[in-house]
Structures are given as structure tokens and as C-alpha cells.
Structure 1
Amino acid sequence: MRLKPFVPFMLPLKEEIVNQMEFLNELIEANKSMVEYQTMLKNSKLNPQFLLRPVMLKEAVQSTKIEGTHVTLDEVMEADAQTKKANKDIQEALNYYEALMKGMDALKNIPISTRLFKLMHKILLSNDVRGSSRAPGEFRKIQNFLGPEGCTMETATYIPPEPQYVDEYMSNLEKYINDPQDRYNELIRVAIIHAQFETIHPFLDGNGRIGRILIPLYLYNKGVIDYPNFFISDVLERDKHKYYRYLNDTRYKGDWTQWIKFFLECIHIQAKKNIRLIEEVNELYENELARASTIINSSNVLHIVNVMFQRPIFTAKTLSSLTGLPEGTVRRYLNRLEEERMIFSDGKIRSKTYYYYNLLDKLR
């Protein structure tokens, strides 16, 4: 039977739709692990801002993977360091990173809103990537549908609301984001918000990625996290078929409880993974700073190591620019670090690229 365009519930959801007792334990665990993660970040030996860039680039890779893009973290970091030409897949991930950065910056001046969504979407589909001809920065004016590759409207697994209602539903979502009028925990709200955005599917392309960017932006905006660096695309990509099925069950079965339970489990799993990463990176930073200090007899070693943790794939020119040290001095330091096998290079005579694998191995 052919599906009809879906008619979503308006937000806030009626209390009887969501049975909080069904996922109370998951909510407690998710909140507890989030607090633990935030506490660890605050007490980290490494400035939390240092890891923001590599973690965000990893998120860009994972989120675009869900959409079928084939790209590695190394490839994206090489393109970010401008030592590798960006093909369309790499550019998609770089666009995602740029949209995320611009979204965070825009929050200083505007709320999470239609204006913000359109700003990020325009960036996401820029630079001639897949979908760049599908109305970047504008809500859709035609009907769209979702399903397996090659499906038609008749065989679609989900048909979003008719285009003439998109503005109305997005206005309702925007109002809920900024003035929710319910008593739910913020982690429950962000689960509802993400699902509702995907259900409205306001753009012709890029809805999944914008919807996933919305998760850390919302949590950061509401003060749940101190840095906008909490992403769950890694966990969602692992369980993407479950992710899509539970989203669809909120629509055709009205099962919001199972979706929220799953989302909270993803939050908990990701928080625990982040905690392990911070623990490992803290230990690595302390050890590597001590090791580098025995190789380079200069107070400049701190600046060199700090940049390596922000950009584990880099050039001497980049390092010189970010540390303020002369490029010749930087090259001399890098030669010493490479001699001691702390870093590795591609061996090129010109525009040599360096790889700090000890950190890359933990991020991959």
C-alpha cells in the first residue's frame, strides 16, 4: 500500500504519548555519564579546546558515512591541512565541519531557529557536492520521500509532510526548542527535537546531517555541555538501521518511548567512549610533552605539542603560523621529532606533511 505524506504531532507532545517510566534507568545513566564526561573535561590536563577540531572532524566523517559517503578521517585531515585535494566525498565532510563551526558561532547572536538551519544547510551543500543543486539554504517546495536506494514514491518507507506545511511545522519546532512548555529532561527533549526535525524533513537533501548537528548545538545552547563537542553520529552509524527503524516507529506506530530509550542509550555509550578518550589523551599528552622536552631543549616545545594535539596531520607552515615561530625553527624541531620517531612524514622534499600517529590512532 502506497504511503501518504505524514502528518506529524505538534510539539510539545502530550504526556500520555511518552512513558518516562519505561526509560527511567536509561535517563539516569545518560545524565550520570554526561556529568562524568563534563567533569573530566574541566579537570583535563589538556585544554578542551585543543581536541575540539579533531573531534569535530571525526564527527564530520561519521555523520557523512551514515549518508553513504566513503571517506576516512586521515583523508579529511589531509585536505584540512591542504596537503590533499578534496574530492566530493571529502568536501562533503569538510562542509559538515564548516556548517557545524558556523552554527556554533552564530549561536552567539541568534537562537536555534529557521535562520540558523538555513545558514548551516547552505554551507553543507556548497562547493559542488552531492545535492548542491537541491535548493541549498531553502526549505523544500516539492514533495520528497525516503527509502532504499532506487526506491520510488510507491515503494518509499517514509513520505514527509507536504511542502506547503513545512514552514508551519518548523515554526512549531523552533518555538518548542526555545520555549518547550513541558517538564522533560533536556536529554529527552533533544531526542524529541531530533526526531521531529527528521520527520518534517524540511530540506530536499542534507536533513540527516543538519539534524545531527542540531544535537550538540542544542545541548550546548541549554548549558548541558560546556563545549559543543558531544556527538553521537559514531554510535548512530554503528546502529544506523536501528536508528532509522526507531525513527519510523515514532511516525507510524506512535512509539516515542522506544526511540527515546534508544537515543538515551546512544548518549550513554558515547559519553563513556568520550571519557575513555579523554583519559587516554590526557595520559598521552603528559607523556608526550615530557618526551618532546627531552628531544627539543626549548620552552617552545609546549607550543609545538599543543598544536600537534589540535592538528595531528600538519605541515611546517601550519605549525609556524599557529605557534608564531619562524618556519626554519619549526622545521628544525620537526626534523628532531621525526628522527626520534615521535612523528612521521610522507618524505616529500616540498610541502612535506607530518603525521602524529599516537593521537590519530586514538581518534580513528
Structure 2
Amino acid sequence: MPRRWDPNTPFNALPPPPPADLLETRRVLKAAIGANAAVAKLNQAAKSIPNSTVLINTIPMLEAQASSEIENIVTTTDDLFRFLDDESSADSAVRETLRYRTALRVGSEHARERGLTAATATVVCSAVKGRDMRVRDLPGTRLANPVTMAVTYSPPEGRDTILDKLRSWEEFLHRADELDVLVRMAVAHYQFEAIHPFSDGNGRTGRILNILLLQEAELLHAPILYLSKYIISTKDEYYRRLLAVTSHGEWEEWILYMLRGVEATARSAARKVEAISDLQRDFALQARAVTRGGADSELQSVLFEQPYCRIGIVSQRCGVSRPTATSRLTALAKAGLLQDVKAGRDRLFINRQFLDLLVRRELAD
């Protein structure tokens, strides 16, 4: 049934999410089975990798890039990893994208210490934007079609109204019912985006909150499931489904859309994690044949945690002199395991095999 809703009028009547029995239709429950199985497989793959920091440091960078691209902030994977430990030399798009990584970290810490709340959203959005963000208190926010510029949605207005909607969103996150966690995530994501509580950064904040919810519910022990690539590839459907919930209350199709994305993304991510584990083993075997100490576990950790690696980092992390670090890295580069490039007065050693694996769009079953 159509709602009493006008895209040009602030949607202060935005209702809270429906009860679980209206959200979990037969189609939704069937789709949730496959999505949950895929997430469980991904979580198991992540637990089995020798150094989970590799995943935590690298896969979120791909999400940062994709999530920023949705907001028309375009960077390359190479630039993100090149400036990972030297943001001051990067351009504005790279710096803004790297803030997404910071937002994920501070949001994860806040949720772990205090629970996932509206305050977490504020912390995350502030980190995303690099400045103190507060709930909107000025009227006039309108969302428009980027091509026609026609207004498609007007979020709630008035600070007290927005804070009330956020309290309702927070209560839904922790509602004492048996609602499937992935269904809860899909519904909460719509609700947050419909509230649109901040003047900017809502999309990226909402996508980070998705992963924080899955971690809080212990579906994942590491932040490695991200939907931004899926959203980019289905961008028109994403916004169409969001708007259909607002205009006609079409929850089922929205939830099914999100569950399809979770399942496809989790399966792809699991294959990528397994490929990373295989590459780490192969790299260690080849490095051992190149130089004594070349397969040192700490050195390998550095080279996979930071695919663009500097001599000073290896010296510090491995507790060796700079000449020793240089010798090991140079030997690995001569053997073709790393790419040695000049970067001003410094040298960068690039784990190109790993970077190529990370950016590969799909890995076959």
C-alpha cells in the first residue's frame, strides 16, 4: 500500500521498523539460510589464516575504496597502499578514503567498549569526515536524482525529531526478539539511511555500521565482509529498493536484495581469503630458498600487512639493522617476489602478487 509520503516534504513520520513476524517472510527466511551459511564459511576461512592482521589491514582498504567510490571519491588501490603510512604526501581523495579505515577502527573500538549505539554512528561519521559531526539541526536537506536533479527524498528535520528516530533505530538494533541478524542488518541499514542524521557522510557511516553489527552479533570475528562492491554494481537497484520501502513499505524486496548481496559478497570474500592463505604459504617457500632469514615470519607479516613496504618498517618490525633489512628485501626483489621501486630518496618494495590478488574482481569457485 502506498504511504502518505511526499518526496519534497521532510519524512518526520518515518515509522519504526515492523515486528519480526512481518519482516521474516518465507522468501526472506529461505534467502537468509544461504546468506548465513556463506558468512559462516567466510568466518571460518578468516579464523584459519595464520595472521589475521593481514586481512584486517588490507581487505578494509578495498572497502574504503569502493565505499568512497559510491560517493564519487575515486582513488586507486595502489595509491591507497602507497600512502598507507605517509598520508601527508597523498592527494585529498586518497586522504579522505584512508579516513574510512580510521572510521572503521574507532567505530569498532567504540562498539566493543560501549555497545553499538547512535553515539557510535557519530564517532564513525566524525572520523569519516575528519571533523566533529553532529546531528543535523538545519532544515532544507533534500536528496536528488544525480541526473535529473529531481528531489527523490526529504529526510526528517528537527534535531529532536532526528534524535528520537535514532533512539528508535538503536532500540531496534538491540530488540529482544529472534530476528535473524542479517535481516536485522538490512532493516537497520534502511532505517539509518532514511533518518540521514548527518549533513554528510551518512552512506559511508551506514556501511561501516553494517559490519559493526555483524561483529557485535559475533557472526564475524574480523571486519572482512563489505557490501560496497555489490552496491556499486547494483547502484540503481540499491536506491530503487530503498525508496520503495519509503514510498510503499516494500520491506521484503529490500531485505532479499541485501541478503543476495551478503551471500554473493561472503562467498567471494571466502575465496579471496583462501587464496591469500595459499599465496602466503607459497611466498614463504620461495623466500626460504632465496635467502637465509628471508622467510622470517615477522618479515612475511610485514610484507602482507603492508604491500607497499619501506626498509625502515622492516628494520623496526623485525628488530634488525637497516643494512640487514635492505639485504633481505633486495634479495626477495631480485628473485621476483617483490618489486623494487624508487620513491624520492626512499625505496618501496611492493608485494605485487598480493596486490594483484586483492584487486582481482572475482575468484573462481
CA distance in 1, matches of 2:217, 2:273: 23
Q: Deviations over 1:284-316 (max 9, x none)?
A: 111110000111212762221111111111211
Counterpart position of 2:55: 51
Q: Quick check: 1:357 aligned with 2:363?
A: no
1:28-47 mapped onto 2 (5 Å cutoff): 28-44=33-49, 46-47=50-51
Counterpart residue identity of residue 89, structure 2: K
The correspondence for 1:246, drawn from 241, 246, 269, is 241
Counterpart position of 2:363: none
Q: CA deviation at 1:84?
A: 7.6
Counterpart position of 1:65: 69
Q: CA deviation at 1:341?
A: 1.2
CA distance in 1, matches of 2:182, 2:334: 48
Counterpart residue identity of residue 199, structure 2: L
Q: CA deviation at 1:74?
A: 1.0
CA distance in 2, matches of 1:332, 1:344: 14
* Counterpart contact for 1:83–1:351, Cα < 8 Å: no
Q: How many residues align?
A: 351
- SS of equivalent to 1:318: helix
> What are structure 2's unaligned runs of at least 5 residues?
1-5, 360-365
Counterpart position of 1:94: 98
- SS of equivalent to 1:157: strand
Q: Quick check: 1:142 aligned with 2:138?
A: yes
| Of 91-100 and 313-322, the range deviating more from structure 2 | 313-322
1:161-180 mapped onto 2 (5 Å cutoff): 161-164=156-159, 165-177=161-173, 179-180=174-175
Counterpart residue identity of residue 9, structure 1: P
Counterpart position of 2:109: 105
Q: CA deviation at 1:19?
A: 5.1
TM-score of the two chains, using structure 1 as the length reference: 0.91
The correspondence for 1:77, drawn from 75, 78, 81, is 81
Q: Quick check: 1:192 aligned with 2:187?
A: yes
Q: Deviations over 1:297-343 (max 9, x none)?
A: 12762221111111111211122222222222111101101111111
* Counterpart contact for 1:120–1:137, Cα < 8 Å: no
Question: Do the aligned partners of residues 25 and 348 (structure 1) sit closer, same or farther apart at CA in structure 2, a change above 3 Å counting?
Answer: same
Q: CA deviation at 1:151?
A: 6.6
The correspondence for 1:5, drawn from 2, 6, 10, is 10
- SS of equivalent to 1:352: strand
Counterpart residue identity of residue 195, structure 2: I
Counterpart position of 1:324: 319
The correspondence for 1:122, drawn from 108, 126, 132, is 126
> What are structure 1's unaligned runs of at least 5 residues?
127-131
* Counterpart contact for 2:302–2:309, Cα < 8 Å: no
* Counterpart contact for 1:50–1:310, Cα < 8 Å: yes
Q: For the aligned residues, what is the CA RMSD?
A: 1.9
CA distance in 2, matches of 1:51, 1:257: 33
Q: CA deviation at 1:28?
A: 0.8
TM-score of the two chains, using structure 2 as the length reference: 0.91
1:182-261 mapped onto 2 (5 Å cutoff): 182-261=177-256
Q: CA deviation at 1:141?
A: 0.8
Q: Deviations over 1:141-162 (max 9, x none)?
A: 123111233876xx21111112
* Counterpart contact for 2:285–2:295, Cα < 8 Å: no
Question: Do the aligned partners of residues 227 and 19 (structure 1) sit closer, same or farther apart at CA in structure 2, a change above 3 Å counting?
Answer: closer
CA distance in 1, matches of 2:108, 2:291: 37
* Counterpart contact for 2:20–2:179, Cα < 8 Å: no
Counterpart residue identity of residue 108, structure 1: R
Q: CA deviation at 1:63?
A: 0.5
Counterpart residue identity of residue 64, structure 2: A
